[in-house]
């Protein structure tokens, strides 16, 4: 028997498609959700929380389709503590080879005030709803939302009720990122020691990163006996985000001497899914992000570079290849052919059909004519831009010319294709970007408010591509758009139009009546 087989197995529960997508502006399209789910399934995630089926027809359809397509992972849907939510969830996951209903209710004093239930009334409701869920599926997860701020005695009481009602996994959420590692471990340990039947279920941990301790709190909980970690790719999630999958998985892999636990994750697939989630969510990964940041394996100081040349282990505790990065990053150029581009794309985690490759190759050649060298990050930006253009074609930038300089007014001459028809206008503004956005708004009037405008250089040099991200809000709907180009103003125009295209899709969606008498709030764990 190998050492790995002797180790305790920690289940990885990924909620990128549910809790991660709830981050303002991170909404994904139906096809993007299916793609991310397939990648999660392929990398070895044990449970995929695919969405909140009662939230909308779109969420229900996505969870249903992911359930049908899943090959290895257990597919889970979220439901509040009422029969309507639970029935809808069961319907959504019923086609999965392995399914789960995750139902929850807020148990802390603050959260008990929301549905205005007494402790006894809430206890009865937990028994009824968990029993109902267990009658529909064999695998039920129950969560006392805001568990870390719930009175310990009451927490023990409701967990015992949930176990007796048939819950197979008890998740302990740190809903507002309030706890600390020692407290996280103590809570799990005390619950396992105190609650009758605790030895018959799996305890899970769900941590938020409001105080920057989500990963540490999750690992501390595992050390105390939790055997499931709820996490997201890149730590995506509401407010400061969730526990990052890549961080807990690599921590247990690299420091297996201190944390002798194993997962089923193929870590070589981490980088490709990290990049994909960043692209579809519009949330770029910070450069110094652990494991998947651009600088995670970069070394600039002379002392570090000297040490790396002598022995990489001087300053790297893991190999780039362990998370799916190639050992080298050879740039392409205008003389590179399709075979070289296909090989580079495969190395970066993209598998394209012949027609897709043909389209990307045309864009690559255009970029190579404007740049001396096309690096990996340029290719990734190119892919993001290609996908945005393919998925959102209601509006399209056809022609843009701007006049700018020290003397106002700055102007933009724009031709915008709207539903296949070209429209042209010239507008002025406080700078070329403002003028361009004014031109777009003149041709396609809207009330969306620009919340965020960011520009990042993809690589170094004056010929570097600029990646522009915008976030827009209209009537509570928040969308993001991204685009890249060697011309910053062109990238800005395309990103703005990309966001508007997403907004048009959001406008067309109609949510079902989800009013629930039993529980009147829509918070999630």
170 and 62 in a common domain: yes
355 and 344 in a common domain: yes
What are the φ and ψ backbone dihedral angles of 516, each rounded to 5 degrees? Answer: -125, 130
Least confident of 130-144, 254-268, 358-372: 358-372
SS3 for 80-129 is ECCHHHHHHHHHHHCCCCCEEEEEEEECCHHHHCCCCCCHHHHHHHHHHH
CATH number of 8's domain: 3.20.20.70
Q: How many CA atoms lie within 13 A of 62 on its CB side?
A: 30
Q: Which residues are annotated as a binding site?
A: 19, 206, 208, 242
Is residue 287, in this structure, part of any structural domain at all?
no
Q: What is the CA radius of gyration of the chain?
A: 25
* Structural domains in the chain (count): 4
Is residue 378, in this structure, part of any structural domain at all?
yes
105 and 55 in a common domain: yes
Mean per-residue pLDDT, 195-223? 97
321 and 334 in a common domain: no
398 and 377 in a common domain: no
Is residue 288, in this structure, part of any structural domain at all?
no
The dihedral formed by the CA atoms of 34, 64, 230 and 44, expressed in degrees to the nearest 10: -60
Q: Which residues are annotated as a binding site for Mn(2+)?
A: 19, 206, 208, 242
Is residue 197, in this structure, part of any structural domain at all?
yes
255 and 198 in a common domain: yes
Q: Which helix (H) or strand (E) holds 78?
A: strand 74-80
42 and 117 in a common domain: yes
Neighbouring residues of 182: CB distance < 8 A, sequence distance ≥ 6: 220
Domain that holds residue 429: 392-508
Is residue 377 predicted with pLDDT exceeding 90?
A: no
Model pLDDT for residues 56-89, shown as the tens digit of each residue? 898 999 999 999 999 999 999 999 999 999 999 9
Is residue 291, in this structure, part of any structural domain at all?
no
**What pTM did the predictor assign?**
0.79
Model pLDDT for residues 104-147, shown as the tens digit of each residue? 999 999 999 999 899 999 999 999 999 999 999 999 999 999 99
The dihedral formed by the CA atoms of 375, 381, 384 and 388, expressed in degrees to the nearest 10: -130
113 and 39 in a common domain: yes
396 and 384 in a common domain: no
Q: Helices 245-254 and 270-281: crossing angle, nearest 10°?
A: 160
- Please provide the average confidence, as pLDDT, over all residues in the chain: 87
Is residue 413, in this structure, part of any structural domain at all?
yes
216 and 277 in a common domain: yes
Contact indicator for 198, 167 with CB cutoff of 8 Å: no
170 and 69 in a common domain: yes
Is residue 514, in this structure, part of any structural domain at all?
no
- Return the higher-pLDDT residue of 283 and 423: 423
CATH number of 449's domain: 3.30.160.270
Tell me how many degrees the CA angle 43-46-48 measures, rounded to the nearest 5. Answer: 90
Is residue 497, in this structure, part of any structural domain at all?
yes
Q: How many CA atoms lie within 13 A of 56 on its CB side?
A: 13
Contact indicator for 234, 277 with CB cutoff of 8 Å: yes
Neighbours of 420 (CB within 10 A): 8
SS3 for 351-364 is CCCHHHHHHHHHHH
Model pLDDT for residues 136-189, shown as the tens digit of each residue? 999 999 999 999 999 999 999 999 999 999 999 999 999 999 999 999 999 999
274 and 412 in a common domain: no
């Amino acid at each position: 028997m190998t050492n790995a087989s002797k180790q305790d197995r920690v289940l990885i529960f990924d909620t990128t498609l549910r809790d991660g997508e709830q981050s303002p502006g991170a909404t994904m399209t139906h096809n993007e959700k299916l793609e991310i789910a397939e990648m999660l399934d392929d990398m070895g995630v044990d449970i995929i929380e695919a969405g909140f089926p009662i939230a909308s027809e779109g969420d229900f359809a996505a969870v249903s389709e992911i359930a049908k397509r899943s090959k290895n992972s257990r597919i889970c849907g979220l439901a509040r503590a009422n029969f309507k939510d639970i029935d809808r969830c069961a319907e959504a996951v019923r086609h999965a080879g392995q399914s789960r209903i995750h139902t929850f209710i807020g148990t802390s004093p603050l959260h008990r005030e929301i549905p205005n239930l007494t402790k006894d009334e809430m206890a009865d409701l937990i028994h009824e709803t968990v029993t109902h869920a267990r009658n529909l599926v064999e695998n039920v997860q129950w969560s006392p939302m805001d568990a870390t701020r719930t009175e310990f005695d009451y927490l023990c009481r409701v967990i015992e009720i949930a176990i007796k009602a048939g819950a197979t996994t008890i998740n302990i959420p740190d809903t507002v990122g309030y706890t600390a590692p020692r407290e996280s471990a103590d809570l799990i340990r005390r619950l396992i020691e105190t609650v009758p039947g605790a030895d018959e279920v799996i305890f899970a941990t769900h941590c938020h990163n409001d105080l920057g301790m989500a990963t540490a709190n999750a690992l501390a909980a595992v050390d105390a006996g939790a055997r499931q970690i709820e996490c997201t790719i890149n730590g995506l999630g509401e407010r400061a985000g969730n526990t990052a999958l890549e961080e807990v998985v690599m921590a247990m892999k690299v420091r297996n001497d201190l944390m002798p636990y194993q997962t089923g994750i193929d870590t070589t697939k981490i980088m490709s899914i990290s990049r994909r989630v960043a692209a579809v969510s519009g949330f770029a990964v910070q450069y110094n992000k652990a494991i998947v940041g651009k600088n995670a394996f970069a070394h600039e100081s002379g002392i570090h570079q000297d040490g790396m040349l002598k022995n990489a282990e001087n300053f790297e505790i893991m190999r780039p290849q362990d998370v799916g990065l190639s050992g080298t990053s050879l740039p392409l150029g205008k003389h590179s052919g399709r075979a070289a581009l296909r090989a580079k794309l495969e190395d970066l985690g993209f598998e394209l059909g012949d027609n897709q490759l043909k389209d990307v190759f045309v864009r690559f050649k255009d970029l190579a004519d404007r740049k001396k060298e096309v690096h990996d990050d340029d290719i990734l930006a190119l892919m993001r831009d290609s996908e945005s253009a393919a998925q959102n074609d209601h509006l399209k930038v056809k022609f843009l010319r701007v006049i700018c300089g020290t003397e106002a007014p700055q102007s933009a001459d724009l031709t915008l294709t709207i539903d296949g028809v070209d429209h042209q206008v010239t507008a002025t503004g406080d700078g070329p970007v403002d003028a361009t956005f004014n031109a777009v708004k003149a041709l396609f009037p809207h009330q969306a408010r620009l919340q965020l405008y960011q520009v990042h250089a993809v690589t170094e040099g004056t010929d570097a591509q600029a990646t522009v991200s915008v976030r827009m809000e209209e009537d509570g709907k928040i969308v993001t758009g991204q685009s890249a180009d060697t011309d910053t103003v062109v990238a800005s125009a395309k990103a703005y139009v990309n966001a508007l295209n997403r907004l048009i899709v959001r406008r067309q969606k109609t949510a079902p009546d989800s009013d629930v008498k039993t529980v009147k709030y829509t918070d999630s764990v």
